[in-house]
Amino acid sequence: MTKKQTEKAFLESYDIHDFDVPLTSVDMAIFTVRSEKLQVLLVKRAQHPALGQWALPGGFIDLKLDKTLMDTAKRKLYEKTGVRIPYLEQVETFGSQGRDPRGWSVTISYLALIPSDHITLGKDDSSEQVAWVPVDEAEDQYPLAFDHNRILEACHQRLRSKVQYTSLPVNLLPNEFTLTELQQTFELVLGNTVEKKSFRRRILDADILEATGNMKTGSNRPAKLYRVKPEGQSHFFTRNIEGPR
């Protein structure tokens, strides 16, 4: 018997149902900016366990539909928001004996950023109650299901941390935006102010934006409109931005 035949025989006799394995799911923190606040999407659980509690959207891997974990995340995001191509990044995997009453479970958490003008709730047929909640409120005033408060904090922390040295917040804005809007979005995510000149120098030197020539009009000098260059999605800067002391 060759080694290959042996492996084939092994695989034929293998059945995962014979083993004790953890439950494995995907949960995600979907962020956007609404009413000048960083907000996160929550769903009210329509099923046991934790029925009726607020939770991060998520669910099990569909072994038929999904080819990768990212597929599961994309599917969930689309079901909840109707957004197909957002910024999506894996954050951290939580797994323990007690985090789900059903037993040993593992959840892979994802961070999603979607533009504020792309929100179309209710594509989902699960008839779950869905709400956008300011992140600070969600962290401090909502007792989320399972360990979702911890997951949310991990995602929020990752977001804040990456904003220090990347251009991530462009994914929270519509296609076209002004530098002032971009700066305000940075400030929202960072939670502190940013020095205007340093910010503009940094963004423009990074060469990730292109002006669209149009102007945004108001009762003052119009601002140039920019959009992200095709390959400029996630640029890394060299230093931090800090506000005035």
Partner DNA sequence: TGACTTAGGGGCATTGAGCCACTAACATAA
Partner DNA sequence: TTATGTTAGTGGCTCAATGCCCCTAAGTCA
Greatest Cα pair distance in the chain? 83
Residue 201 interacts, among its own copies, DNA, none and using kind-specific CB cut-offs from 5 to 8 Å, with DNA
Residue 192 interacts, among its own copies, DNA, none and using kind-specific CB cut-offs from 5 to 8 Å, with none
The C-alpha atoms of residue 81 and residue 123 are separated, in whole angstroms, by 7
* Interface contacts to its own copies, rule CB under 8 A: 3, 6-7, 10-11, 14, 16-17, 19-24, 48-52, 60-61, 63, 66-69, 90, 92-98, 101-104, 106, 108, 238-240
Residue 48 interacts, among DNA, its own copies, none and using kind-specific CB cut-offs from 5 to 8 Å, with its own copies
Segment lying near DNA (by CB under 7 A), choices 8-16, 101-109, 152-160, 233-241: 233-241
- Report which DSSP code applies to 177: B
Strand duo 105-113 + 23-34: pairing: parallel
Residue 61 interacts, among DNA, its own copies, none and using kind-specific CB cut-offs from 5 to 8 Å, with its own copies
The C-alpha atoms of residue 70 and residue 67 are separated, in whole angstroms, by 8
Residue 87 interacts, among its own copies, DNA, none and using kind-specific CB cut-offs from 5 to 8 Å, with none
67 binds DNA, rule: CB under 7 A: no
Nearest to its own copies of 3, 221 (CB atom): 3
Nearest to DNA of 143, 213 (CB atom): 213
Q: What are phi and psi of 66, to 5 degrees?
A: -95, 130
Q: Total residues contacting DNA (rule CB under 7 A)?
A: 30
Nearest to its own copies of 104, 132 (CB atom): 104
53 binds DNA, rule: CB under 7 A: no
Burial of 86 (C-beta count, 10 Å sphere; 0-12/13-18/19+): buried
180 binds DNA, rule: CB under 7 A: yes
Residue 67 interacts, among DNA, its own copies, none and using kind-specific CB cut-offs from 5 to 8 Å, with its own copies
Q: What are phi and psi of 10, to 5 degrees?
A: -60, -45
The C-alpha atoms of residue 199 and residue 213 are separated, in whole angstroms, by 21
Chain position carrying tokens 């020539």:
213
User: What 3-state DSSP class applies to 22?
Assistant: coil
- Give just the sign of the alpha carbon dihedral 162, 164, 167, 173: positive
The C-alpha atoms of residue 121 and residue 60 are separated, in whole angstroms, by 21
Q: Which of 63, 143, 197, 230 binds DNA (CB under 7 A)?
A: 197
The contact set with DNA (CB under 7 A) reads 178-180, 195-198, 200-202, 204-205, 215, 217-224, 237-245
